[in-house]
Structure 1
Amino acid sequence: MADTTKKQRIFMTGASGYVGSVITEFAIADGYEVHGLSRSEANDEKLRKLGAVPVRGDLSSLDVLRREAAAADVVIHLADPFNFDLSNGYDPVLKAQAAVADAFADSLQGSGKVLLTTGGALMAASDPNGGETDETTPAPNEEIIPRTRVEKYDLSLAEKGIRVAAIRLAPFVYGRGGSGIRLFMQMAAKNGHVLTVDEGKAHTTAVHVDDAARLYLLAAKKAPVGGTRYNATEPGGVTHRQLAEAIAEVVGVPVKSLTLDEATAQLGLFFARFLSADNRSSSAKARNELGWEIKETAGILEDIKAGSYPAVAQAIKSGH
């Protein structure tokens, strides 16, 4: 008689990271067995504490990726080669990501298993009339980081009998005192001000890390045949100015506005564009097709001012 008690297995890159660790936590609570790629003893220990199985290797360990993908029911790819190191251009990143995708495809092709990849809602151009965008919105004319080329390649793997879904995370993933908000707090404390671009008038979207993790797991269960995309974004949105003022309030520094040219000179093109990008991405597709719900309803401004971040700000100010 077949063993019907066998747990489904998830293999994940980036499992010990900010979003990945929450997915791991929720997946194990949901009855999955999670195997996470790990580059260090410290990450091994973090994964074990979460209840996951560490798998030693990195994104260049293609044989490891093939082996683990073959044994998994779901593959979730969160890690990014080179991170923000674009000193040699983006072509090496594209090549590395394609090699990872091909390694997964070698093991998953024809299986109907799920492969979830990760991108960002900023891969859609802003609406010139200030309206919402969705997963069908074209990419900006000038992409600083051409992530859409990675996503297009990933989604093409659906032609090999893999259920591929690309999760587009909001520009600001927040909660649990981590991620970019923590980074901006550290920068504010160091520089003595919070920077915003063009008075911070552009809108942006956010998503709580717990809600983002829930979306990955819903997509793992319900991703349709063929390749598709889902925005992981909260409805509504906030302005960059509102975010800057909230961070300034808890860190105890003023807000300083720069022009785009000034910000580019001081911060580099990527961060200058990030802080001036207008994004109002709709998550209606994820809500309608997957039944995704926003459960962390307080919102990013409340979390910064009275949720998980005041303690972070206090620790930063006290030098910890």
Structure 2
Amino acid sequence: MRILVAGATGAMGRQLVPLLVRAGHEVHGMTRSESKQAFLRGLGATPVVADALDPEQVARAVAESRPEVVVHQLTAIGPMDLRHFDRAFAPTNRLRTEGTDHLLSASRAAGVRRFVAQSFFAGYDRVGGGVKTEADPFGTAPPPGMEQTVGAIRHVEDSVLGASWTQGLVLRYGGFYGPHTSLGVGGEQTDAVRRGRFPVVGNGGGVWSFVHIADAAEATVAAIERGAPGVYNIVDDEPARVATWLPVLAESLGARAPMRVPRLVGRLLAGETGTVMMTELRGASNAKAKQALGWAPRHATWRDGFRELGTRAAAESGAAA
């Protein structure tokens, strides 16, 4: 198939593009940076330069690529600031609203038959059990400080699933870890845990779902090639409470056990948004993706992935010493 990947040089694109090329697809990688064209060619893709926030550039990129499938992986995630979450995610929120609209409009004009878009598991409503399926309420009661971010995610989902002229698929990824993510070697979250700056807030009862970036890319290929329209949770097999996974991550990185702070102190350190994520977040089940896509994560649990991360971090630290 002829596939256009928007956001082809991000953490997901770096994994996804080579997989699609190896699978025999003709891949066009969209980037806004002229300087990244050589990098995309090295991955095996044909580079297409366009600013996702410019509708004319997007229309031209899609028209020239003539894709059968468009894959929307546009993000612009900078340093994490849980106290001002929506402000930190403002550039990505624009890509998830305006950028999505531009891609869909151009795709409709070009007759794109399948549109696959990135979403995120953390939008599940914080009621009921700790692990959610795709049928559970999503995005109707965002945590304080995440209203704009969750609203932008809902915009992606509603727009893609509501596009009757194409086959729309939405992938609710778990928290990424691995190369070029904030929870990779040298990543922002990794560094915070190693420095003891990532505490367990309150009872640490928030349930998180993770997925290794390489496993997420393999699931995306499966969705592109054989997924029926709809929503899929792309997460590993073990949703876990913060109080469970954070100490394991710290130990894997050779760091001291994370501090435990009361919820009130957590609000001062991480704001209300961070406190809610630590104490109330709901995880996600991957049962539908495994059955419908024939996919299973190679890193079945974050426990294996975090040990691998720790080993690589130690090796790189030793090499740099």
Place the TM-score, normalised by the shorter chain, in its bin.
0.7 to 0.9
**How far off its partner does 1:164 sit?**
0.9
Distance in 1 separating the partners of 2:163 and 2:295: 23
Structure 2 residue aligned with 1:217, among 197, 221, 240?
A: 221
Q: Is the 8 A contact 1:251 1:314 kept in 2?
A: no
Q: Which residue is 1:303 aligned to?
A: 305
Structure 2 residue aligned with 1:153, among 154, 158, 169?
A: 158
Report the CA distance shift for 1:148/1:98 in structure 2 as closer, same or farther (over 3 A): closer
1:60 is aligned to 2:53:
yes
RMSD: 3.0
2:163 alignment partner, SS class: helix
Q: Which residue is 2:193 aligned to?
A: 188
Q: Which ranges in structure 2 are unaligned for 5 or more consecutive residues?
A: none
Q: Which ranges in structure 1 are unaligned for 5 or more consecutive residues?
A: 1-7
1:76 is aligned to 2:81:
no
Structure 2 residue aligned with 1:267, among 267, 270, 273?
A: 270
Q: Is the 8 A contact 2:72 2:117 kept in 1?
A: yes
- Comparing 196-205 with 113-122, greater Cα deviation is found at 196-205
Q: Structure 1, residues 90-124: CA drift from partner, whole Å, max 9, x if none? A: 6x866653332332233332836111111111111
Report the CA distance shift for 1:173/1:96 in structure 2 as closer, same or farther (over 3 A): closer
Q: Is the 8 A contact 1:205 1:238 kept in 2?
A: yes
Report the CA distance shift for 1:21/1:257 in structure 2 as closer, same or farther (over 3 A): same
Matches within 5 A, 1:103-118: 103-109=102-108, 111=111, 113-118=113-118
Distance in 2 separating the partners of 1:135 and 1:271: 24
Aligned-pair identity in percent equals: 20
Report the CA distance shift for 1:61/1:311 in structure 2 as closer, same or farther (over 3 A): same
Amino acid at match of 1:255: P
Normalising by structure 1, we get a TM-score of: 0.82
Amino acid at match of 1:300: W
1:36 is aligned to 2:26:
no
Matches within 5 A, 1:2-13: 8-13=1-6
Normalising by structure 2, we get a TM-score of: 0.81
Give runs of ≥4 in structure 1 deviating > 4 Å: 81-85, 92-96, 313-320
Distance in 1 separating the partners of 2:296 and 2:88: 40
Amino acid at match of 2:298: K
Q: Is the 8 A contact 2:233 2:284 kept in 1?
A: yes
Distance in 2 separating the partners of 1:38 and 1:25: 16
1:180 alignment partner, SS class: coil
Report the CA distance shift for 1:32/1:64 in structure 2 as closer, same or farther (over 3 A): farther
Q: Structure 1, residues 19-46: CA drift from partner, whole Å, max 9, x if none? A: 2211111111101122222233553343
How many correspondences in the alignment?
304
